[in-house]
Amino acid sequence: MATELEELLDFLSSPSPPIKKAAVTIVRDYTGSEDGLRSLGKYSVVAFPALARLLAEKKEVSEPAAEALVNLSQNTELAGKMVEMNMINIVMDNLYKKNCDITHLLVMLLVNLTQLDAGIESLLQQGDEKMHGLYIMRLVRSFCASSSEKKGDPFEHVASILVNISQKEAGRKLLLDPKRGLLKQIIRQFDSPSPLRKKGVSGTIRNCCFEADDQMQNLLLISEFLWPALLLPVAGNKIYSEQDTSKMPPELGSALSIERETVTDPEVRAQVLDAIYLLVLQEAGRRAFWSVNGPRILQLGYENEENPKVMEAYERVGSLLIEESGTLESSTDVVS
């Protein structure tokens, strides 16, 4: 005999719109508690496909279905089952359907699913040579095009997806592929007023810099965008002298010669300093860093820094530069 929950899940496939709406709303409410999540998890083979089918319905049904899946996907075990049933493919198909009303929720579902290695592999489409990277390219395009929309920022949380996928070598190599130009597009979003976008971009850059030993040439190909994204957040709030800015490329010098808003999030400042450290570990990265007067920027930025963890990150870069320079004379402008 069917249990009460099994009967409820059957109603998700009801031909009656009012019954279907009522059922999915109750299921969504179930996912608001730990007991409800555990109960639904036992019926994942039935519940997940039924909820996934409702993502293509009108908003009154698709929204609670998506909310239920987002809640369920916060459980690692249940998220793994969703990945196994190709939930990422289903989400991407619905995300780009005309007049999708639940974009924000679908992106949040992808954020949760890409916390898993299997989810990252699925989103990267690693098993399909012809399709490999297509999903990421579409998400990056949407991420970069949606920030100016008046109706909120539905693709804002793509920032977190990019951080997730860039934690894996395959994801980093995809983002660094110069033919695709994805990292270049992503870096431009660092100017966004959205704290989430800014943190996502800095975290993605940092992760990509773990490939600096093999991908330095590709990183330096976008140095026009990379150095401002890495150095402006840690440059402090002082207006730099003409003597200092004359030794910098125009995109850095012009920004530092005027008043500007500082990056208040210490995590962002720490992330870009980590990225700089990874770059200057390589000889080509050190040369490029000196060529933009990077040590002077870090020196002045360090003078204004108050966060202990960020100060440690400054000092780590400074110590490396002093050690590698080999002479006191060449390290006088480095953080000490």
The predicted-structure confidence for 279-305, as pLDDT tens digits, reads as follows 999 999 999 999 999 999 999 999 989
Q: pLDDT per residue over 63-97, tens digit each? A: 999 999 999 999 999 999 999 999 999 999 999 99
CA dist., res. 140 & res. 159, Å (int): 9
Question: In Å, how far are 178, 186, 193, 311 from 147, measured between CA atoms?
Answer: 24, 12, 9, 32
Torsion on CA atoms 282, 283, 284, 288, rounded to nearest 10: 100
CA dist., res. 205 & res. 274, Å (int): 10
Checking if the pLDDT of 217 tops 90, the result is yes
pLDDT band at 331 (very low <50, low <70, confident <90, very high): very low
Query: Residue 116 class from Cβ within 10 Å (0-12 exposed, 13-18 middle, 19+ buried)?
Result: middle
The structure tokens listed for 67 are: 């909310």
**What single-letter amino acid sits at 38?**
R
**CB proximity list for 228: less than 8 A, separation 6 or greater:** 251, 252, 255
Residue carrying the six token digits 């992106």: 107
Checking if the pLDDT of 330 tops 50, the result is no
